[in-house]
Amino acid sequence: MSQDFREIIDDTEDVIVEDAVIDEDDENDDDYEQVCMMCHRPESKAGKILTLPGGLNICSDCMQRMFSSMEQYGMPEIPGMGGAPSFMGKFEIPVQQGNNSERQSASEEKTDEEKKSKKNNQTPIQGVHFINLADLMGGDMGMPRRQKVKKKKENTEPKKFDRGEIPAPHRLKAMLDEYVIGQEKAKKTLSVAVYNHYKRVCCDPSDGVEIEKSNVLLLGPTGSGKTYLVKTLAKLLDVPLAIADATSLTEAGYIGDDIESVVGKLLAAADNDVEKAEHGIVYIDEIDKIAKKKQVSTRDVSGESVQQELLKMLEGAEVEVPVGSNSKNGMVPMMTVDTTNILFICGGAFPDLEEIVKERLTTKSSIGFQADLKGRLDHEKNLLLQANMDDLRKFGMIPEFLGRLPVLVALEELTRDMLVQILKEPKNAILKQYKKLMAMDEVMLEFEDEALGLIAEKALEKHTGARALRAILEEYMLDIMYQVPKDSNIGKVTITREYLENTGGPRIELRGQIVPELPGV
């Protein structure tokens, strides 16, 4: 838009006539938005709406298009306005030919027009006669009514986080027990860490005592429930949660996600509410993948350098976060998020960390009957429970990074009994999910205890933790869920151990009648 056009718009904004079409029952005009008469967009979408003489509302985009059309068709210039064409008007072209009576009638028309403008308290522009567009559009029928959309009222007072919303540690652990089987130490540690963190958020530092932030580091084999613990915790607390993957993080300037993308996901989870995001939880999974690489000839852009960039974010800093994007560029708006009150939980499987722990525990060597045997820890399952910061530093984590994760929690490896409990006891148990699917076809689904034990044993052989349970059930339930909807007389299906061992079939009961075991479905 040229400078002359901008001056015209600025002059027009000063001439405002509150003459728009409104409803009689509108008590407060500030609650509704103006609508452009050309494009019919409300003020929240079109931007600033200009109110022209006569109660005509028009947005700046439509004003610019009108100027462009006038320039294209060579509209005459306005004297004394720098050659800028007029808007929404017609020009009085001087009459070069004709007798005196014609010129006199034109002068009288001009005088009447000026009187009419003064009567309406409008300042006429020399050479411009405004046209009433309402008359051209057929009266009030063509005028858009004001948008019935409530404006968002600005809240001047920031929302304060209430510590009373966070349950006590024993209540928080009791709620976790309904969803997570086992891992008693991990649930207790997380409950205390989260409760103390939000007490820190709400405390008053006026007495000079400022509580430091205690971020958490979770260790545990794959499928032991690290991510599920954090998801359940955030759901119970009703706070924003962002789950990021450390494998995609790279040093600034390289292909991949910058560290700001971690906070960007939290901001998106909080619906771009900065105040709400600054009290959320960030879980960085696969944190062991950014350990220092050993004996590499190329530049380590996703290892130690990423740990160093995460230091200030974990401790607390103001981070410029792109809204709706993982990378910074000139076309993406930025928001500033303070990470001081954000709880960071990092988790990883840390493969081969057991070997480091085993090496530390068997450094003592002796000869004789009381000698410490080298192979006594070969069959130990929960070596990660004995891991410490020195073992993690030898694994490849830098001391500065570990110092910002003071709470170290190790999860136990799942046993056969724990897997059986995971199958049937939690609120969102896998068996309850399959029973709900079958109930939608009005069929009851049951599992024998021996069948559940066999499923747990097969899951232990896969060494993928609780994730193996669904894979095994999907394999055995495929034929049943395919065949059962064919027969509407089936009322109950019981999964037996023989069916899982391929030596028999499931026990099927018809509606109101029991049939013997079948060799197959």
Condensed to tens digits (0 to 9), the pLDDT of residues 384-411 reads: 888 889 999 999 899 999 999 999 999 9
Query: What's the mean pLDDT in 157-172?
Result: 67
Residue 193 and residue 237 in one domain: yes
Q: Do the domain assignments include residue 153? A: no
Q: Do the domain assignments include residue 158? A: no
Looking at 363, 379, 410, which one is the last position of a domain? 410
Instruction: Please state, in angstroms and rounded to a whole number, the distance separating the CA atoms of residues 357 and 363.
Output: 10
Query: What's the mean pLDDT in 123-129?
Result: 48
- Determine contact, residues 351/289, Cβ cutoff 8 Å: no
Residue 365 and residue 476 in one domain: no
Residue 239 and residue 174 in one domain: yes
Q: Give me the CATH number covering residue 400.
A: 3.40.50.300
H or E element that contains 491? strand 490-495
Residue 398 and residue 253 in one domain: yes
Residue 348 and residue 212 in one domain: yes
Query: What's the mean pLDDT in 69-90?
Result: 52
Residue 468 and residue 383 in one domain: no
Q: How confident is the model at residue 379 (pLDDT cuts 50, 70, 90)?
A: low
Confidence (pLDDT) at 31: 60
- Range with lowest mean pLDDT among 108-112, 218-222, 311-315, 357-361: 108-112
Instruction: Please state, in angstroms and rounded to a whole number, the distance separating the CA atoms of residues 187 and 1.
Output: 62
For residue 55, the 8-state DSSP code is T
Query: What's the mean pLDDT in 233-243?
Result: 83
Q: How confident is the model at residue 138 (pLDDT cuts 50, 70, 90)?
A: very low
Per the structure, the count of domains in the chain is: 3
Q: Do the domain assignments include residue 147? A: no
Q: Do the domain assignments include residue 150? A: no
Inform me whether the pLDDT recorded for 368 exceeds 70: no
Residue 185 and residue 135 in one domain: no
Residue 206 and residue 233 in one domain: yes
| E-only strand ranges, 189-333 | 216-219, 241-245, 281-285, 318-322
For residue 77, the 8-state DSSP code is B
Looking at 83, 108, 142, which one is the last position of a domain? 142
Q: How confident is the model at residue 247 (pLDDT cuts 50, 70, 90)?
A: confident
Residue 432 and residue 354 in one domain: no
Q: Do the domain assignments include residue 521? A: no
Confidence (pLDDT) at 367: 59
Q: Do the domain assignments include residue 116? A: yes
Instruction: Please state, in angstroms and rounded to a whole number, the distance separating the CA atoms of residues 421 and 434.
Output: 16
**pLDDT above 70 coverage of the chain, percent:** 68
Q: Do the domain assignments include residue 481? A: yes
Q: Give me the CATH number covering residue 447.
A: 1.10.8.60
Residue 406 and residue 443 in one domain: no
Residue 257 and residue 239 in one domain: yes
Residue 462 and residue 365 in one domain: no
Selection from 374, 349, 370, 346 nearest residue 361 by Cα: 374
- Determine contact, residues 43/34, Cβ cutoff 8 Å: yes
Pairing of strands 513-514, 507-510: antiparallel
**pLDDT above 90 coverage of the chain, percent:** 20
The residue with tokens 């089987």 is 181
Structural domain containing residue 437:
416-514
Distances (CA, A) of 79 to 87, 117, 127, 158, 243: 14, 19, 7, 53, 65
Q: How confident is the model at residue 11 (pLDDT cuts 50, 70, 90)?
A: low
Inform me whether the pLDDT recorded for 440 exceeds 50: yes
What tokens appear for 147 in the block? Answer: 């948008």
Selection from 13, 64, 8, 5 nearest residue 34 by Cα: 13
Q: How confident is the model at residue 4 (pLDDT cuts 50, 70, 90)?
A: low
Q: Do the domain assignments include residue 132? A: yes
Q: How confident is the model at residue 94 (pLDDT cuts 50, 70, 90)?
A: very low
Looking at 380, 410, 440, which one is the last position of a domain? 410
Confidence (pLDDT) at 432: 93
